[in-house]
Structure 1
Amino acid sequence: MNIIHISTVHPNNDTRIFEKECSGLASKDHEVTLIIQSDCDEIRNNVKIKALPRYSGRLSRITFGILRAARKAFSEKGDIYHLHDPELLPLGLLLRVSGRRVVYDMHENLPEQIRTKHWIHPLIRKPLAFFISFFERLSLNRMAVVMAEKSYADHYNWVKRGQVVLNLPTVDKLMQLASSTQKNSLLVGYIGSISQSRGLLTVIEAIRKIREDGIAAKFECIGNVSRDVSTSKAYQQGVNEGWIHSPGRMPPSQGWAMIARCHIGIALLKPIGNYIDSYPTKMFEYMAMGLPVVVSDFPLYRDVVERHQCGFCVDPNDIDTIAYVIRFFIENPQKSIEMGTRGQNAVRSYYCWNIELEKLIIFYQALLA
């Protein structure tokens, strides 16, 4: 198949778009083109990248950016056009009118997310979410939809042609890292967006509590740091004292090489919006690397962790309990190793990207048929 992936929002090394979908499809001998913000046209991992300019503001991106993406899309002769951003839905409708087969990749439940976006004025959130829901109903029934979470299928049960393709990890590289890296039994790891809503300030307070008890635990904290964390006294003090290492956002290969040194993987998201009903991909990535996990006590997460006995589920607001389970792992290294091994085996069998990639390919083939 000849598949054209398009995004005006994501970086050209985005894990789901480039690493998993585009590179995965190319590895199966499909012809793949990625239209995305980049410095130049190139071929990487056998994926043809068609560069879009980088835009600093939303307005220029959703006007000039989409127009340029449309021009490049219509110049390609693809079997399927796979879109990754809500702002590209009008382009998807144009492609459908012109007879192209279009797939929309739903990375998030956008109306639900809008209701919790801090940068949107509270008075605007509800009517904006309603408008987005209305426009999605107009457009998504005219194209096929790939959903990154099972919960989206429940919210979007009116979609005519849909397929859940979970954002699970590509485990081979992560397992190789785990086998070749020496772990530090006092190092707690987190990778992803660093914000209060993702529980980072609570984790920092828990690690501080452990350190006050004489255990020299450190925190490897990789990702973009939001203002609500960067301006907090606890974060600043931890960085200044040297027990928080926060290098910012890094390419996935570099970030995971640093997480591989950790002893514990953390994913303590707050009970907000989509978090409750969406798998945190990092949980499976920690498991693939043999790390026992400490995750939020949500039913979806608990089903995985308790079934495979690979960590603990705790209240993401309970500093004392978080401190207790981190301390448990540090003081019981053999049990930590056993939990990590069980998690690694579970990922290999049930929660890896290869399974999801086959689902995506079968979905494409059904559309072409």
Structure 2
Amino acid sequence: MCYIAMVVDASYPNDIRVRKEAESLSDNGRKVVVICPRKKNEPKIEKINGVDIFRIGANYSNTKKGLFDIFESIFNINPLFFFGIKKAMKKYDIAFLHVHDLPLAGTGYMFKSKVKKIILDLHENYPEALKTWFVWKKSLIIRFKNFLFMNPVIWTKKEKRYCLKYDKVICVVEEMKHKLISKFTITSDKFIVVSNQEKKEFTSNFEKSKEQKIISSNVFSITYVGGLGPHRGLDTAIKAMPLILDKIPEVKLFIVGKGSKSVEDKLQETAKQFNVESKVSFIGYRPFDEVPAIMMNSDINIIPHKSNGHTDNTIPHKLFQIMMSKSSLLVSSCKPLKRIVEKYNCGVVFKADDKQDFADKVVLLFNEKEKFQEKKVNGYNAVVMKGENWEEESIKLNNLYNNL
């Protein structure tokens, strides 16, 4: 049997989306190899849950990744992955090349004649993401480098080129699919949507989670769990804290996760500017087995993303994780977040980037706790009983390969 080769510029099995896709295809009888960078002390070759892992290079670092990103931007090829894919093809009988995200699209396309089909899996709206990821960078050198090599105009052209050239394109939400169809005038049969739902078995994490010591019952807790970045909208939540404190003196905002130094500095500066340093707790990274308990013990879990071309065309795994936790959920009006929450009546939506509306919705949840109990159950049922889970979503991925 021939292999499906998944190519990803990220650590495996840490990348949740790639791991779920690879394991689902393997579970359905297909042979899958993941081609990914090799970090220090990682084995070059191993097998994890039925998936072959072929790691390339050595001691992969953010610096090396940055250099390869620049080379890719200029020449449409990533040397590490080009030679890595060539080596993998000598070892494995590869029939399908499944390339994850736009930066590796040029490299993957060079092998089109060597395989039966090439598939491009877009985790996000990459050109739009470039407009938001670096806005808090202060270094003029870094800003100039990003202007030259991470310019959204350049990457929009690449996005169109490879959406046309690849045999199939996978999008993470319907909004992204419709955007690409209308923007580039591409027929809809080119695209399928495979979203970021969680496996139903993920609910067991909330039953056996490790004890947490972050969230105290002495405060009304507003909690964010995840990566930190300018697009995440955490500055909106921080700016809203003085407004919330007027109505809920015992409130505290917990930010659980890591970001770049520039992002963390900006958020801490914002807390200082609005005189809420004592009411905003930057927790940093916590082990995964603590996160379910943190979610469950929080009075409100938030996803306060700003609404823009990036966030309106992707969806975070943690939305479905929070729904599974039977916790109160407050999300911004980003299109995919709003669509899911309103469809299942499983949370509250505030106007993105609006500190007053964020504060008003927090106060509403505080004052009417009992009224919103049903929403918590609705979220859980949406995942477990109404199909918003990976078991249902993965059928589309397997059907894609059945029909190639």
Same fold (TM over 0.5): yes
Q: CA deviation at 1:59?
A: 2.1
Within 1, Cα distance between the matches of 2:133 and 2:112? 31
Instruction: Please state if 1:104 is matched with 2:132.
Output: no
Instruction: Please state if 1:155 is matched with 2:179.
Output: yes
Equivalent in 94, 101, 104 of residue 110 of structure 2: 94
1:33 counterpart SS class: strand
TM-score normalised to structure 1 length: 0.85
Superposed counterparts of 1:122-201, under 5 Å: 125=151, 127-137=153-163, 139-140=165-166, 143-157=167-181, 158=186, 161-173=190-202, 175-179=203-207, 186-201=220-235
**Is 2:101–2:124's contact at 8 Å kept on the other side of the alignment?**
no
Instruction: Please state if 1:338 is matched with 2:374.
Output: yes
State the one-letter code of the partner of 2:33. Answer: T
Q: CA deviation at 1:243?
A: 4.6
Tell me how large the CA RMSD over aligned residues is.
3.1
Within 1, Cα distance between the matches of 2:324 and 2:311? 21
Within 2, Cα distance between the matches of 1:230 and 1:278? 26
Within 1, Cα distance between the matches of 2:246 and 2:270? 14
Within 2, Cα distance between the matches of 1:341 and 1:124? 43
**Is 2:34–2:52's contact at 8 Å kept on the other side of the alignment?**
yes
Structure 1 stretches lacking a partner, 5+ long: none
Q: CA deviation at 1:47?
A: 2.0
Residue 139 of structure 2 is matched in structure 1 by none
Residue 4 of structure 1 is matched in structure 2 by 5
Q: 1:289 to 1:99 in 2, by over 3 A?
A: same
State the one-letter code of the partner of 1:153. Answer: K
**Is 1:292–1:340's contact at 8 Å kept on the other side of the alignment?**
yes
Within 2, Cα distance between the matches of 1:123 and 1:362? 37
Within 2, Cα distance between the matches of 1:333 and 1:180? 26
Within 2, Cα distance between the matches of 1:83 and 1:208? 45
User: Which shifted more, 88-97 or 327-336?
Assistant: 327-336
Within 1, Cα distance between the matches of 2:98 and 2:362? 42
Instruction: Please state if 1:31 is matched with 2:31.
Output: yes
Residue 230 of structure 1 is matched in structure 2 by 265
Instruction: Please state if 1:221 is matched with 2:247.
Output: no
Q: CA deviation at 1:308?
A: 2.3
Q: 1:356 to 1:307 in 2, by over 3 A?
A: closer
Q: CA deviation at 1:277?
A: 4.0
The total of aligned residue pairs comes to 362
Q: CA deviation at 1:345?
A: 0.7
Question: 1:86-107: per-residue Cα shift (whole Å, max 9, x none)?
Answer: 2322333232212332221111
Q: 1:65 to 1:288 in 2, by over 3 A?
A: same
Q: CA deviation at 1:358?
A: 0.9
State the one-letter code of the partner of 1:31. Answer: K
**Is 2:306–2:334's contact at 8 Å kept on the other side of the alignment?**
no
Residue 240 of structure 2 is matched in structure 1 by 206
State the one-letter code of the partner of 1:279. Answer: I
**Is 1:288–1:344's contact at 8 Å kept on the other side of the alignment?**
yes
1:258 counterpart SS class: helix
**Is 1:260–1:289's contact at 8 Å kept on the other side of the alignment?**
yes
**Is 2:323–2:376's contact at 8 Å kept on the other side of the alignment?**
yes
User: Which shifted more, 254-263 or 30-39?
Assistant: 254-263
Within 2, Cα distance between the matches of 1:13 and 1:334? 38
Q: 1:299 to 1:13 in 2, by over 3 A?
A: closer
State the one-letter code of the partner of 1:145. Answer: V
Residue 18 of structure 2 is matched in structure 1 by 17
State the one-letter code of the partner of 1:223. Answer: G
State the one-letter code of the partner of 1:284. Answer: F
Equivalent in 59, 66, 78 of residue 67 of structure 2: 59
1:59 counterpart SS class: helix
Q: Percent identity between the aligned chains? A: 22
Within 2, Cα distance between the matches of 1:6 and 1:299? 29
